[in-house]
Copies of this chain bind each other. A is one copy, B any other.
């Protein structure tokens, strides 16, 4: 559905554009902003004057004049314009980070996850406590927290911040919106963790390749299996999505998965699945909730020494991943695949299976094997993805509402 445009909307969009180049490049002078936005100098004057009046950006002390002519004055975001809390939920801990409007980390701590399985309600209480704790440790008033950006593995509702399915809580839904609304007036967004990895990699790629960048998938290997896809949208930035890849059907009637279904990809490629097949436990055994990585390292060591059964377990995992990836490519398009997560340490063992699984499909036979790269530092990428997304959401919101309060 198309919708009407107005001159005010033009200003809004151009203001967001100015903020976004400021975010990408750091402090910039008037002329530099004009150059990288394509807007005229006069327009930059008008927009920056507005933003300055609304206390969103500020003039910084001019640096040592680097040539002759009137010295530049750099414009930059005001750090105290607003704050962001990033909550990263992982299987064993929840990490809270307080970040200012310029993207600078102010405070961070992690809290152990209670492994109490009966604890969706307790978990929510824990998150609420963690949030107030990070606020209390700072000198920031609550109204200044503009956004709470949460990530988790699992399946996320695309429109509301509701965790629909997660490895830990299963189908016990967690609605962060209603959980946090009593305490917080900040906006709450929730994203799948691997989606954020993909978003971060996509943003990096776009800086390097510019308009040549088309699409990219991130595959996260660990206790569970996640996938994020970034695709260049028609007009609007990037299109990102986090499919339910780990629980996509690999083989009908196959091994039993943690989710209770048979034949999920994760039932072959999750850590517990590799363990299960390495120990030749029947595939319909209810899998362990949690597998120590050290255990898997031992199996990997044996596989590398040439033992058949452990090597076969990794190969099966690779095949499931490769087949699944090929299906994903059939449904989208050929794109590079970045593999992250703790499972990358076994990539040498998985690789052959992945490639064989991929090559069993029409699309790969026809268009060739997609580029596969291993990317370390998943944690950093998750955080980077949070910042990318959250700060641009804040920019958007601040411009829309800032025009009202400003002046």
Interface residues of A (CB under 8 A from B): 1-7, 9-10, 13-14, 16-17, 20, 37-39, 158, 165, 171, 206, 211, 233-237, 239, 241, 243-245, 247-249, 251-253, 257, 259-264, 319, 323, 326-328, 330-333, 357, 360-363, 365-366
Contact = CB atoms under 8 A, between A and B. Distances in A.
A361 B243 CA distance: 14
B362 A330 contact: no
A248 B39 contact: no
A238 to B, nearest CB: 9
Contacts of A4: 13-14, 17, 37-39
A5 B1 contact: no
A237 B236 CA distance: 12
A366 B249 CA distance: 13
A262 B360 contact: yes
A148 B6 CA distance: 33
Contacts of A323: 249, 252
A392 to B, nearest CB: 9
Interface centre among A165, A331, A357 (most CB of B within 10 A): A331
A362 B257 contact: yes
22 contacts: A2-B237, A3-B17, A3-B235, A4-B13, A5-B10, A233-B236, A244-B363, A247-B330, A247-B361, A248-B362, A249-B327, A249-B361, A252-B319, A257-B362, A259-B362, A259-B366, A261-B360, A261-B361, A261-B362, A261-B365, A262-B360, A263-B360
Contacts of A361: 247-249, 261
Contact of A243 (B253, B262, B330): B330
A18 B247 CA distance: 45
A363 B263 CA distance: 12
B330 A244 contact: yes
Nearest to A247: B362
Contacts of A2: 13, 16-17, 20, 237
Nearest to A320: B252
B171 A366 contact: yes
